[in-house]
Every structure is written in C-alpha cells, then in structure tokens.
C-alpha cells in the first residue's frame, strides 16, 4: 500500500464533497429522493472530514507553526467548521420539496467551497513548510484509518 500524504488525502476529500454539493445544487424540488440521498452522503463525508482535520491534522499544524497568522488560520478554520455544523442539521430539517432547501444547499456549498479553498491556498502550503514528508505521511495514515472507521468502509 503506498503511503498516504495528509494533504493529498484532504484535497481528495474536498474534491469529492464539492462534487456532491454540485450534484445537490443541480437538483430541483421534484428530486426529493435524490436530495435526501445526496444530503446524507454530504453529511457523512463532511462529518468525517472535519473530524479528522480537527482531531489529527489541525493539532499537528498548530503545534508546528510559529507565526501568529498561522495560528489565526487555525482558529478561523475551526470557526468555519463550526458554522458548517450549524447549517447541516438545518438543511436536514428543511422540506426537500421546498425552494428553501435549494437555497440552504447553495449556501452550504458556498461555505464549504470557501473554506476548502482557503485551506488549499493558505493552510496546506504552510503545513508543507513546517511538517516533513514523513510527518505528513504519518498523519495521512492516521486520518485514513479514522475515516475508514467512521465511514465504515475501506477505500484502498
């Protein structure tokens, strides 16, 4: 099994969730079953992703960084996860045959896209500077194991 780099793993998650959010955005009030199915997939993926970041990747990042703005980045990322967690149950409680559902799904997509973009543009490049390849691979392995456990399946 090839080693899993932490950053590649997180980026692959971003891509997957963004794809699911785009699929959700393209549904209509008539696609109730599809909306429900996509939302539950998005919910599971986002929960697993934010957990492995908060429990494994972010703490390692926070430990390794020295600059004030890097610590600020860490706290901001946590707050963004917090907002995502507030929005998720709200969407789940919204009637999928309503226009409101579509609006909420769109806002979730914007939130997640913005957050993932900042991680990829600012946090991950910074993490590559402060963590060695070996460290990134060790983090990647731990995150993959944790994800497999949470999502109840093997990916590779």
Ramachandran class of 154: left when φ > 0, alpha when ψ lies in -120 to 50, beta otherwise: beta
Shorter beta-carbon distance to Fe ion: residue 53 or 70: 53
Question: In the complex, what is the shortest distance from the CB of residue 100 to Fe ion, in angstroms, rounded to a whole number?
Answer: 26
Closest CA to 92 of 39, 52, 135, 138: 39
Shorter beta-carbon distance to Fe ion: residue 53 or 126: 53
Examine residue 53 and tell whether it contacts Fe ion (CB under 5 A).
yes
Token pair for residue 20? Answer: 């699911």
Examine residue 126 and tell whether it contacts Fe ion (CB under 5 A).
no
Phi and psi angles of residue 95, each rounded to the nearest 5 degrees, phi first: -60, 120
Shorter beta-carbon distance to Fe ion: residue 101 or 124: 124
Q: In this structure, what is the dihedral angle of CA atoms 13, 17, 20, 22, given to the nearest 10 degrees?
A: -120
Examine residue 45 and tell whether it contacts Fe ion (CB under 5 A).
no
Question: In the complex, what is the shortest distance from the CB of residue 49 to Fe ion, in angstroms, rounded to a whole number?
Answer: 6
Q: How many helices (H) and strands (E) does the chain have?
A: 7, 0
Task: Tell me the window of 39-47, 60-68, 106-114, 116-124 that interacts with Fe ion (CB under 5 A).
Answer: 116-124
List residues binding Fe ion (CB under 5 A): 53, 119
């Amino acid at each position: 099994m090839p080693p899993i780099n932490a950053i590649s793993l997180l980026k692959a998650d971003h891509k997957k969730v963004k794809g699911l959010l785009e699929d959700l955005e393209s549904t209509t009030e008539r696609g109730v079953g599809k909306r429900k199915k996509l939302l539950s997939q998005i919910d599971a993926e986002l929960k697993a992703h934010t957990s492995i970041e908060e429990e494994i990747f972010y703490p390692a990042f926070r430990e390794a960084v020295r600059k004030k703005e890097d610590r600020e980045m860490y706290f901001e990322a946590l707050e963004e996860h917090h907002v995502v967690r507030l929005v998720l149950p709200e969407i789940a409680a919204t009637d999928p045959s309503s226009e409101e559902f579509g609006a909420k799904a769109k806002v979730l997509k914007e939130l997640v896209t913005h957050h993932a973009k900042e991680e990829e543009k600012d946090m991950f490049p910074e993490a590559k500077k402060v963590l060695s390849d070996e460290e990134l691979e060790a983090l990647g392995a731990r995150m993959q194991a944790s994800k497999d456990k949470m999502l109840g399946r093997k990916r590779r």
